[in-house]
Amino acid sequence: MDNKKFEDSIKNILEHIGEDVNREGLIDTPARVRKAMEFMCSGYKEDPKEIIQKALFHSTNDEMVVVKDIEFYSHCEHHMLPIIGKVHVAYIPDGKVVGLSKIPRVVNVFARRLQIQEQLTEQIADALNEHLKPKGVAVVVDARHMCMEMRGVEKICSTTVTSALRGIFKKEKKTKDEFLSIISSSFMK
């Protein structure tokens, strides 16, 4: 990435909205924005397969594993405004389990890209399903969208909930219901 070109673009945006790019508070802003965007969009440089495969362990466990309330921050691809929420992930092992910290890391891979929530949900489920190869995967994302709160319809604190079910979670209502029961307390917060 050409740092100067990026920072010049930020200066142009600041000038376009009527700011003085030479005032004290804004002199270093283009570099700060570049560094922030590099971090907030670092998911493009990460591979969920590598993350998962570094921590796969053989296991006889065949019961549901749930990691809930994984906080995430993303940006909508339409306005580049924040999406803030929680992800709930479950899987049923089929001979292997993954280190628990790897699940939030997989969430971050996809959250740290420009996104729409529906796609974020699908990407997390598909990555876990493909690389962990469990009997099933369930992902629910509950998030606030600043493009709805800060502009447009201005509906403060409204949330959007999306889900993606794979394998046994999609085929067996009992399994899906167990997952939803486990995570239901998260929606009461």
Residues 6+ apart with CB under 8 A from 38: 1
DSSP letter at 20?
A: -
**Of the listed 38, 71, 78, 130, which one is catalytic?**
78
Which among 7, 76, 115, 122 is annotated as catalytic? 76
Catalytic residue among 117, 122, 123, 131: 117
* Closest among 123, 124, 120 to 90, alpha carbons compared: 124
78 as an active site residue: the answer is yes
Asked if 147 is an active-site residue, the reply is yes
**Residue 63 bears catalytic tag:** no
Catalytic residue among 147, 149, 172, 178: 147
79 among known catalytic residues: yes
Q: Which of 19, 41, 79, 149 is catalytic?
A: 79
Structure tokens at 142: 């509950």
Contact 189, 182 (CB under 8 A): no
Q: Which residues pair with 57 in a beta bridge?
A: 97
How big is the CA angle at 187 (ends 182 and 189), to the nearest 5 degrees?
115
Our answer to whether residue 88 is catalytic in this structure is no
Residue 175 burial by CB count (10 A; 0-12/13-18/19+): exposed, middle or buried? buried
Give me the active site residues, please.
Answer: 76-79, 117, 145, 147
